[in-house]
Amino acid sequence: MALVVVFSTMSFTINMHYCGDTLVETAIFHKAKGCGMEMQLPITKSGCSVEKKGCCTDKHVTVKGQDELNTSYDNLTLHQQQFVASFVYSYISLFKTVEVETNSFSEYPPPLVVKSIYKLDETYLI
């Protein structure tokens, strides 16, 4: 339960580097390095540059966590209380071991032995 609380309140960013339409690198918590094909714009003597669109793009996805935790359990309705009670009861009953002996042969007598099997197979212990 503590891990659920930690991960629900934690924010993180996923950085993705695309070269064309292909995903090249994904990074969490730091910037993606890239594929090394970034366009460097040449600067001429007059200070003007010709801009050409590169094939690489970067995307950033930010997942924000909760800022406040709701810890008030005083206002549970009757249906919520029934759900919690039945959940706790069923969860605890998972760990109970119930041993039931099922002997289908307990009410039937064993068959009568007509001949000794060791004499029919001619095996004797010495």
For residue range 66-76, list pLDDT tens digits in order.
777 666 667 88
In the structure, what pLDDT confidence band is assigned to residue 47 with cuts at 50, 70 and 90?
low
Percentage of the chain exceeding pLDDT 70 = 74
**What pLDDT is stored for residue 44 in this prediction?**
56
**What pLDDT is stored for residue 53 in this prediction?**
66
Residue 14 has pLDDT above 80, yes or no: yes
Strands 56-63 and 12-19: antiparallel
Strands 22-28 and 56-63: unpaired
Residue 11 has pLDDT above 90, yes or no: no
Residue 45 has pLDDT above 70, yes or no: no
Q: pLDDT digits over 75-126, tens only?
A: 888 899 899 999 999 999 888 877 887 777 778 887 777 777 666 777 666 6
Which of 14, 51, 19, 42 is closest to 30 using CA atoms? 14
Angstrom distance (rounded) from CA 84 to CA 41: 63
- Who's near 62: CB < 8 A, 6+ residues apart? 11, 12, 13, 14
